[in-house]
Structure formats: C-alpha cells, structure tokens
Amino acid sequence: MKKQRPKVLREHFEQSEDERLASYAVKSGESRGRVFKEPEHVFRTAFQRDRDRIVYSTAFRRLEYKTQVFVNHEGDHYRTRLTHTVEMTLIARTVGRALRLNEDLIEAVALAHDLGHGPFGHAGEAALARLMKDHGGFEHNQQCLRLVEELEESYSNFPGLNLTSEVREGLKKHDHSQVRSLEADVVDVADSIAYNCHDLDDGLRAGLLDLETTRSSISIWNHILGDIERKYRSLPQNIKIKTAIRFMMNQLVMDLIEQTEQNIKKFKIHSCKDAASHKGHLASFSPPFSGLMRELKQFLQVNLYEHYRVVRMTEKGQRFIQEIFEVYVDKPKQLPPQVLERKKKYGLERCVCDYIAGMTDRFALDERQRLFSPYERV
C-alpha cells in the first residue's frame, strides 16, 4: 500500500505557533524535549502528543471512578475527578486562548493535573500521607509525576509516558526554583475556578448547602443571584442556580484574563524565560476578586467539606485505606505478583502506597470486601 503523507505536517503547526502565539507563550518547536530521545511525530506537535499519551493512560481512565468531593457511589450527577478534570481543562484553555498562550501545553498539563489522586479524594491523600510518614510521604502532585515518569506501563522502550519537560514541570506545584510557564500558572488558577464553582453547585444539588445560607455568606454569589432575579423573573430554582454558577464562572474567568494581561504588562514579560524567572504568580485575580474567591473557598471549607455527611464519607474512606494498607504490609503475599514485584525496586511500603493510590473508589471498596468479608470471593 502506498504510504500517505499528511498534508499538514508538524512543522506547519510549529510555524503557526510562532505566528499566532504571544512572545511569552511556550512554543512546541522549542521544547527542551524528553528524557528518552524519540523521533518527533509526523503531524502532531510535542505537546499534542503528550496530551494524547495522558488521555490513553490507565491512570486517566481511573479518574472516572475517583472522588472529587462525593464518593463515587453517592450519585450519578456529582462531579468525579474525571468530569472535574474536563471542566477545568475547558476553563484553562479558554483563558490560555484569550492570552495567546500554548493551548496544547495547557491541555496536556490540565488533563494530567489530578492523576496522582488516590481513592476518596483528599481524605485518601491524608490517609496515605499519614501511613507513609516514615517512608518518604505521599502527596498527590508528586504521585502524579511518579505516574507519568515511572509507573505507567505502556511503552517498550521507556517507563512512564516520557512526556516533555515542559509538561512535567507544569505538573509540579509552584516552586520558585523550578522553571515554570505562564501556561502552568493558568492551569492552577483554572483549577480553583472549576472546583469552587462546581462544588458549590454539587453541594446545593445534594442538599448539603442551603441556598439562603449561601446567599448570606458569599457576597459574589448573592450579587449574581440578585442580578439574575432582576433580569429573569420567576425562574425555577434549579435553573436559577445553574444560571448563577455560569455567570459566576464567567466573571471569574474574565477577571483572571484581564488581571493576568495587566500583570504581563506591569512585569514586562516578553518571553517565556521572563515568565519562568518571575517571582510569584503571573496568572491571578484582581485584588477584589481574590477576596471574593477566598470568601467562597472558606465557606465551602466550613459548610461543605466539613459537613457531617461529607466527613462521614471521607472518614470511612480513610479507615478503609488504613485497613487495606496494614493488611498488605503485614502479609505482602496477598498483593498481586506484578505489584509485589515492585517491592525490590521501591521497598514494601512504597509499592503498597503506589498500588492503593492507583485504586478507584470502587476498586478500593471491593478490595476491602475481598480482604475482610469471609463470604466474598477473593
């Protein structure tokens, strides 16, 4: 069969980035490359290729059954880690496009940003951090890097996904000793817009938050609801909430774009090197919106994340993780052989921690049954 060459080659996209993107955007043609050398792809840029590798990874598919706030089986309409990831990627790309940043790099970092979360959300992370205290600790951003650099098994000639250094750096939490792009900075703030807005939405939907209390406690929310009530009279409550969430996201995104543009001007950011060497976040809200976001975040902390029903879910999750962890460490032969195999390289506790961190809520619940329930098949 005659080999077909695509008409639009990688070089075309690289050139179009040079023409379209801002001077401070990261260009895929100037990537610092991968740890294991590979030939470039014919028609995908380096960052497009990274994005695809992330979506095809096992860790990415597991996001579907991992907790955002609500444990997976609580209901079908709440956000999961996967839908959170998709929503925040949309926000990050919108902001990146408006600022003429590299959307492919943003998309890759955004899609991967939560891969390191274990089952049961932040409660699961806290449990693993406690259990691993004397064995090197556990933190989801570090685990995300570990996954893409070592644990994913898909390629014959290297461990992990062999992503470009720009994507891997974007997955590290801000640390001023690191080279960091504006693209990665945008992903961080987009994450906070996504979870603050959808957690408020899910909390109201679940009946854990009450509309009147949210109004009297969150000023931006109250203001937006007031506007909507003046504009559209007698909207059913569920439509009113959805409309208000949309309006709020829109205002936050607009403020973020405008303030970040101002920061870029103010700090004379002309190249991605200027952005990387800048101390502090270039992507940020204006001072009034930072205050509004803080208020929203604190409200959710006290009223949603510490709601007795959420605490019950998360405490259960923590307890299960601890039980599974201890049982494996006590009798490692209960671990599947391919998991136990990694003990030689990483030590027992780390290999158990990696195994549990990879579990979805669903798998962890089933596994606990298999380990503890006498009637369950193993």
Q: Which is nearer to Mg ion, 191 or 202 (CB)?
A: 191
Q: Which is nearer to Mg ion, 183 or 191 (CB)?
A: 191
Q: Which is nearer to Mg ion, 201 or 349 (CB)?
A: 201
Candidate segments 103-111, 113-121, 345-353, 365-373, binder of Mg ion by CB under 5 A: 113-121
The CA distance from 133 to 325, in Å, is 13
Does 191 interact with Mg ion (rule: CB under 5 A)?
yes
Burial 41-54 (b: 16+ CB within 10 A, else e): eebbbbbbbbbebb
Half-sphere exposure of 287 toward its Cβ, with a 13 Å CA cutoff? 0
**Token representation of residue 318:** 């923590």
We find the least distance from the C-beta atom of residue 117 to Mg ion, in angstroms, to be: 8
We find the least distance from the C-beta atom of residue 85 to Mg ion, in angstroms, to be: 7
The CA distance from 176 to 282, in Å, is 13
Strands (E), the chain: none
Assess contact for 49 and 177: CB atoms under 8 A: no
Q: Which is nearer to Mg ion, 114 or 255 (CB)?
A: 114
Ranges within 27-46 binding Mg ion (CB under 5 A): none
Assess contact for 203 and 209: CB atoms under 8 A: yes
Distance of alpha carbon 134 from the chain centroid: 27
Q: Which is nearer to Mg ion, 169 or 191 (CB)?
A: 191
Candidate segments 190-198, 232-240, 315-323, 363-371, binder of Mg ion by CB under 5 A: 190-198
Binding mask 275-294 for Mg ion (x = CB under 5 A): --------------------
The CA distance from 53 to 115, in Å, is 13
Q: Which is nearer to Mg ion, 121 or 317 (CB)?
A: 121
Assess contact for 331 and 140: CB atoms under 8 A: no
Candidate segments 112-120, 262-270, 280-288, 341-349, binder of Mg ion by CB under 5 A: 112-120
Candidate segments 12-20, 186-194, 199-207, 261-269, binder of Mg ion by CB under 5 A: 186-194
The CA distance from 176 to 285, in Å, is 20
Q: Which is nearer to Mg ion, 105 or 190 (CB)?
A: 190
The CA distance from 300 to 290, in Å, is 15
Candidate segments 152-160, 184-192, 280-288, 291-299, binder of Mg ion by CB under 5 A: 184-192
- Residues 103, 104, 107, 114: which binds Mg ion (CB under 5 A)? 114
Binding site for Mg ion (CB under 5 A): 114, 191
